[in-house]
Amino acid sequence: MSPVTPSARAAGRPRASSRAMLEEAAGELFFERGYAATSVADITARAGVSRNTFFNYFGAKSDLLWSTFDATVATLGESLTDPRHDDGTVRGTARAALMEVAGALRPDNVSLAFTHADTMGLADELRRSAAVRASDVAVVLTSFAVMKGVEPLRAEVAGAAYAGALVAAVGEWSRSGAVRTSLCEVLAEALAPVEGALP
């Protein structure tokens, strides 16, 4: 999702896929009209694809903001069970897995959304969709902690805290200039107050 104009897009190289076309079209329209005033039909018309194609890639308009984040975070469960991250503690393993996710996340849709939330008129939507992402990450972390023997209530609280730290770090990283800032460094700072929640 990039803030390029249709004429600029036409002068550049061909777009790679329907997903990329939809993300690019959405970025243009969110800048031009604002998030709330842009419909899925507007996005598909600008991208030149069908409504069905949109829903093959995205469940809702807000998912366009998080597509790269979602794809990257989908690897968290696998990272948590990777022996390379197991330092003998639940805390250390969770931290290492989150750091791997952070290291793989590239400045893209979500960083653009956080940076231009007011311009695009999506601040409220971004808060709601961020909460959904934090909840999804928390479920993965909680399940891992319970599997490792952490008492369920503590695991749930810790999972929410760690997930909140990840999403908060992504927001801060984006607003600080994602291209110039290390998400891993921001995440380390965000995790510092909550790491004691896991043994």
pLDDT tens-digit readout, 109-153: 788 888 888 888 888 999 999 999 999 999 999 999 999 999 999
Could you tell me the residue range of the domain that residue 26 belongs to?
18-56
Confidence of residue 1 (pLDDT cuts 50, 70, 90): low
Residue 89 and residue 26 in one domain: no
Same domain for 68 and 33: no
Mean pLDDT of the chain: 88
> What is the Cα–Cα distance from 19 to 21, expressed in whole angstroms?
5
The structural domain count of the chain equals 2
Q: Is the same domain home to 83 and 69?
A: yes
Question: What span, in angstroms and rounded, lies between the C-alpha atoms of 130 and 66?
Answer: 9
Q: Point out the domain boundary residue: 36, 56, 76.
A: 56
Q: Report if pTM > 0.85.
A: no
137 and 42 in one domain? no
Residue 37 lies in a domain: yes
* CATH at residue 165: 1.10.357.10
Taking only Cα atoms into account, the Rg of the chain, rounded to an integer number of angstroms, comes to: 18
Query: Do 132 and 72 share a domain, yes or no?
Result: yes
Assess whether pLDDT exceeds 70 at residue 3. no
- d(CA 184, CA 104) in angstroms, rounded, equals 10
Q: How far apart are CA 91 and CA 118, in angstroms?
A: 36
Residue 51 has pLDDT above 50, yes or no: yes
Same domain for 81 and 142, yes or no, is yes
Do 37 and 112 lie in a common domain? no
Q: What angle do CA 35, 116, 118 make, to 5 degrees?
A: 65
The answer to whether residue 13 is domain-embedded is no
Domain final residue pick, 7, 26, 56: 56
List pLDDT tens digits, range 147-177.
999 999 999 999 999 999 999 999 999 998 8
Pair 98, 187: CB distance under 8 Å? yes
Q: Verify that 103 and 142 share a domain, yes or no.
A: yes
Query: Are 163 and 65 part of one and the same domain?
Result: yes
In the chain, pLDDT over 70 holds for what percent of residues? 92
**How far is it, in rounded angstroms, from Cα 150 to Cα 156?**
9
